[in-house]
Amino acid sequence: MKPQTETNPLTNLDEWEDDLLRRYPDPESIADQKAVTEYRNYETPQRDTVREFYKLNHTYQTYDFVLEKRNNFLRFDKKEMPIWAAFDFLNQLVDDSDPDTDLDQMQHLLQTSEAIRRDGHPDWMVLVGLIHDMGKVLCLFGEPQWAVVGDTFPVGCAHSDKIVFPEFFDANPDHHNERYNTKYGIYEPNCGLRNVHMSWGHDEYVYHMMKDHLPESGLYMLRYHSFYAQHREHAYEHLMDEHDAKMFEWVKLFNPYDLYSKNPTPPDWKELRPYYESLVTKYLPATLKF
C-alpha cells in the first residue's frame, strides 16, 4: 500500500497529520490470528507468569523506587552499542507480563512495525514500532522483569482501580501513605504528564533514549504505549493538560498495532533486515548509549 501522501497529497503537514489520525486502524484487520476480544485476557491468562508478575510490580513500584531508577539508568552510562546488539538480546527475552504471546521480543517488534508499514504510515512510525520495546534491554543490566515491563501508571498519587490487578496495590507502601494516596497526590490538577512520574520501566527509558531523534508524536507513543489505564480507560484525565489530550491521539493510533499484531507466526528477519537497517541509519546514530 502506498502512503497517503502519495495517493492523495495534502496541502500542509497539519492537514496531513489530522488526516492520519482520522484513519485509525481496524483492529480486526490487524488481529489475523484470533478475535480482538481474546487479547489482554487477565481474568484467565494463558501464562502462569502474568499474575505473579503484577503482584511484584504493584508491590514494589513506589515513588521512591522510580526516582532511584531514573537517577541510575537515565545517565545512560552502562554500555554503548549498535542498536542491533540490543536486538540480539531481545531475541532471548520473553515478556512475563504479556498474556498474548510467548514469542521473543524481537519477533513482536517486527510484527508491530510490519503491521504499521503495511498500512502506509510514515517511516518514523514504522521505526517506533521496531524500537518501542527496545528499552527491555534493562533486563540485560540485571533488572527484574517487574521493573521493566508491564502496564505503566503514575506514582505519587492514588492508584486507579482501572489498572490491571489493582488488588495487589494493597501491599504497596505508597498505597497507605497520605502524601501519595489521594487523587492528585503530589501533583496539581491538569499539571500535564510531563510533570508526572510514571512507574519505572522500558517505556520511560526508551523515550529518554530517543527524545533527540524522533518527532514528538512518536515520542508520546514510546513513553505511554503501556499506559493502558489512560489511553484505554481514561483513568487519569485529571492529571493531563490539553497538549497531552492532543498527543494521546497518536498513542491511540499506535496501540492497536502493538496489541493486535501479535501472532504465533514469526516474520522473516533475513528478508526484512535490509529495509530496517536503512530505516535505522536514517534516524539514529551508529551506536546508542544504554
What's the pLDDT band for 140 if we cut at 50, 70, 90?
confident
Q: Look at residue 39 in the predicted model and tell me its pLDDT.
A: 41
Q: Residue 152: is its pLDDT beyond 90? A: yes
In this prediction, what percent of the chain has a pLDDT beyond 70? 78
Q: Look at residue 9 in the predicted model and tell me its pLDDT.
A: 35
Q: Residue 28: is its pLDDT beyond 50? A: yes
Q: Look at residue 95 in the predicted model and tell me its pLDDT.
A: 53
The full DSSP string for 156-201 is SSPPPTTSSSGGGGGGSGGGG-TTTSSSSTTSPTT--GGGSPBPPS
Whole-prediction pTM value? 0.81
Instruction: Select the more confidently predicted residue: 7 or 163.
Output: 163
Using an 8 Å Cβ cutoff, are 97 and 147 in contact?
no
Q: Residue 102: is its pLDDT beyond 60? A: no
Instruction: Select the more confidently predicted residue: 168 or 267.
Output: 168
pLDDT, one tens digit per residue, over 173-226 is 999 999 999 999 999 999 999 999 999 999 999 999 999 999 999 999 999 999
What's the pLDDT band for 16 if we cut at 50, 70, 90?
very low
- Min mean pLDDT across 12-16, 64-68, 127-131, 268-272 is at 12-16
What is the number of other CB atoms lying within 10 angstroms of the CB of residue 188?
A: 10
**SS3 state of residue 21:** helix
Q: Look at residue 5 in the predicted model and tell me its pLDDT.
A: 36
- Min mean pLDDT across 1-10, 49-58, 180-189 is at 1-10
Burial track 2-17 (b if 16+ CB lie within 10 A, e otherwise): eebeeeeeeeeeeebb
As a whole number, the mean pLDDT across the chain is 85
Q: What is the mean pLDDT of residues 267-281?
A: 94
pLDDT, one tens digit per residue, over 29-50 is 544 554 444 444 445 544 467 8
Instruction: Select the more confidently predicted residue: 50 or 245.
Output: 245
Cα–Cα dist 128/130, whole Å: 5
Which range among 22-26, 56-60, 147-151 has the greatest average pLDDT? 56-60
Instruction: Select the more confidently predicted residue: 157 or 16.
Output: 157
The full DSSP string for 116-153 is HHHTT--HHHHHHHHHTTGGGGGGGGT--GGGTSS---
Q: Look at residue 10 in the predicted model and tell me its pLDDT.
A: 34
